[in-house]
Structure 1
Amino acid sequence: MANLVFSDQEFQRIADLMYGAAGLSFNDSKKSLIHSRLAPRIQKMGFGSFADYIAMLEDESQAAEFQMAVDLLTTNETYFFREPKHYDLLQQELPQFANKAGLSVWSAASSFGDEAYSTAMLMTDLQTAGRIGPNWSILATDISHRVLLSAKEAVFPQDRLRAVTPERLRRYCLRGEGPSEGQVLLQDKIRQRVQFGQLNLCKPFGGLGPFDVIFLRNVLIYFDPPTKVDVVDRVLSLLKPGGLFFLGTAEGRVPCKTPLQTVIPGAFRKAA
C-alpha cells in the first residue's frame, strides 16, 4: 500500500470529517494508522488516490461508505446488543411497563442506530410472543446529521451484528451480495419502528417524552464534569418514575442529582 500517497492536507480533511460527524479525534500521530486502515479499502474500491475516496466520504449520499470508514478507523465500539445483560433486563422488565398508553424508549446518543435497532428487534420479539402490545415506540437522537443519515439507511457492516442471534438475523436482516457483500440491510419492519432526530444534549430541549426507558451509553466521556451532571439530569427529567436508565457499564456512578437506584451494573431505576 506504500504507493498510495497520503498528504498532510488529506489527513487533515479526514480528521476534520471524522471529528465533525462522529466525534472521533485523530491527532498527527494517527496519520500512519489512518493510511494503513483505509488504503486497502481505497484500492479494493478501485480509487487511485486518497483524495478521490475523501471526496466520496464528503458526499452525504454515501452514508453507508462513510460508516464503513468509521468502522475501519475504530475498534467497533458500537455494535448490536452491546452489553447483553442490559437487554436481558429489558426483556424481563418491559412487559411490566406495558399499559394502554404504550411503551416508549429513547436512545439519547444513538450514533449509527445499533442500540435503537437492537431494542426494536427485542421489542418486536416480545410483541410477537404476546408479552407487550403493538403500541410501542423508539426515538433515537444524535448530534450528527451525517451519522443520522447513515442510521436511517440501516445498512451495517456484517461484523457489527456479530452478537445478533441466527434467528434474529433470519427474521430481521438481509445479507448483501456482489458489491454489497459484507453488509447487512435491516428489514422495513425493524426500520419503521425507530424514529430518528437530531439533538444536542448540551442545549435545552423540549417536546420529548416522557419515556419508560432511556439509553445514554458511552457519550458522557466527551463532556466535562459540570456538563455531565447538567446533561444527565435534563435527560432524566424525561424518564417516568420507576423507569429504567442505562449508562455504559464501564462509566461507573451516574453524575446527577436525580435519585436513582442501581439495578445491575450500568442500569438504574428512577425513584418513584
Structure 2
Amino acid sequence: MSTPQLNDRSFGRITGLMHEAVGLSFTRSKKALVSARLTNRVQQLGLTGFEDYADLLEGADDGGEFQMAVDLLTTNETYFFREPAHFALLQAELQRTRPQKLAVWSAASSFGDEAYSTAMLLADLQAQGTLGADWSILGTDISERVLQSAVQGIYPAERLREVSPQRLKRYCLRGEAESEGFVQVRESLRERVRFGQLNLCAPIDNLGPFDVIFLRNVLIYFDPPTKSAVVDRVLSQLRPGGLLFLGTAEGRVPCSTPLTVLAPSAYRKGNER
C-alpha cells in the first residue's frame, strides 16, 4: 500500500474540524506534523487517503476515531518534575504559608507525570509538618487514552529520571521480570490523585476553587484568541492569591484576569476587589 499524501484540502478539513470541536489550531507550517502523526492511522484503517479519513471524522458515527485523532495530534513527551523551578517555587510558597488545606489542578495532565510529581512533593511536605493532611490533586485532559494510563500510574523508568532516589523508594515500586524497566506509583500516592476528562475550550462549571493550577505545555495547540479564552476560563477556577504555572516555552498569554509575575511562567492571581 502506498503512503497517503496529505493535500491542502484534506489538511484544511481535518484541522478545521479540530479547531471547531476542541479548539486545536494547526497552521500551514504544521502540515508535515499532522501528516506524520496521522499517516499510520490512515493506513491501519485501510483507507485510500486523507480525504476518506476526513469523511470518517466528520461522520455522525466515527467509532471513536475523532478522539483517536485528538490523541495522536496532541500527545507530548512528558516526564516527572519537568520544569523543576516551578516545583521549587511551589515548595517555597507552601513552606512560607504552611496551609492546612490545598487543592491542586493539573489542567493538561497527559499521562499523569505532572500530577504525581506534585503529589510526591505534597506528601513530603505533609510528612515534614509543613502541609496539612487535607490536600488533593485533580488531573484532567481531553484524551481518554492518556487518562486511562495515568490512573494505572505505570511508567518507563526513564520518565522518572528527575526523581530523587529517596522519593523513588518512598513512592514507587520497581518492576521485575517482564516488568523490568518500568515503575509504578504506589497505591497510597495514587489514591491522592483523581483524573477526569475535560475540554479546556468548553465551559468549566464548579470544578474549583483551586489553590494551585498547572496549565503547562498545552497552550501551544491553540491560536491566540483561544489561548486567552482558555487562560481566563481556567483562572476562573483559581482562588484569589492562588498560583498559576504555564509552560516556560509558552510565554505570558494575554488575559483579562489580573496576574502578578512571580518567576518565568509562574503567576499569582490578583485579589478580587
**TM-score normalised per structure 2:** 0.73
Residue 80 of structure 2 is matched in structure 1 by: 80
Q: How does 1:158-173 map to 2 (within 5 A)?
A: 158-173=157-172
In 2: Cα distance, 1:207 partner to 1:30 partner: 35
Q: CA deviation at 1:95?
A: 3.7
- Equivalenced residue count is 224
Q: 2:182 corresponds to which letter in structure 1? A: Q
Q: CA deviation at 1:31?
A: 9.1
Q: Does 1:235 align with 2:234?
A: yes
Q: How does 1:127-166 map to 2 (within 5 A)?
A: 127-166=126-165
Q: CA deviation at 1:254?
A: 2.4
Residue 209 of structure 1 is matched in structure 2 by: 208
Percent of aligned positions with the same letter in both sequences? Answer: 62
**TM-score normalised per structure 1:** 0.74
Is the alpha carbon distance of 1:77 and 1:30 closer, same or farther for their aligned partners in structure 2, counting shifts above 3 Å?
Answer: closer
Q: 2:165 corresponds to which letter in structure 1? A: P
Is the alpha carbon distance of 1:151 and 1:199 closer, same or farther for their aligned partners in structure 2, counting shifts above 3 Å?
Answer: same
Is the alpha carbon distance of 1:96 and 1:211 closer, same or farther for their aligned partners in structure 2, counting shifts above 3 Å?
Answer: farther
Are the aligned partners of 1:97 and 1:103 in contact in 2 as well (CA < 8 Å)?
A: no
Q: 1:80 corresponds to which letter in structure 2? A: F
**Over 3 Å off, 4+ runs:** 6-9, 23-32, 95-100
Is the alpha carbon distance of 1:142 and 1:175 closer, same or farther for their aligned partners in structure 2, counting shifts above 3 Å?
Answer: same
In 1: Cα distance, 2:241 partner to 2:114 partner: 21
Is the alpha carbon distance of 1:229 and 1:167 closer, same or farther for their aligned partners in structure 2, counting shifts above 3 Å?
Answer: same
Q: CA deviation at 1:99?
A: 3.9
Structure 2: state its 5+ residue gaps: 5-13, 19-23, 46-71
Is the alpha carbon distance of 1:256 and 1:162 closer, same or farther for their aligned partners in structure 2, counting shifts above 3 Å?
Answer: same
Q: CA deviation at 1:241?
A: 1.1
Residue 125 of structure 1 is matched in structure 2 by: 124
Q: Does 1:222 align with 2:215?
A: no
Structure 1: state its 5+ residue gaps: 1-5, 10-15, 35-49, 52-69
Are the aligned partners of 2:80 and 2:163 in contact in 1 as well (CA < 8 Å)?
A: yes
In 2: Cα distance, 1:108 partner to 1:253 partner: 17
Q: CA deviation at 1:109?
A: 0.5
Q: CA deviation at 1:94?
A: 1.8
Q: CA deviation at 1:242?
A: 1.0
Are the aligned partners of 1:158 and 1:184 in contact in 2 as well (CA < 8 Å)?
A: yes
Are the aligned partners of 1:97 and 1:212 in contact in 2 as well (CA < 8 Å)?
A: no
Q: Does 1:94 align with 2:94?
A: yes
What SS does the aligned partner of 1:208 have? coil
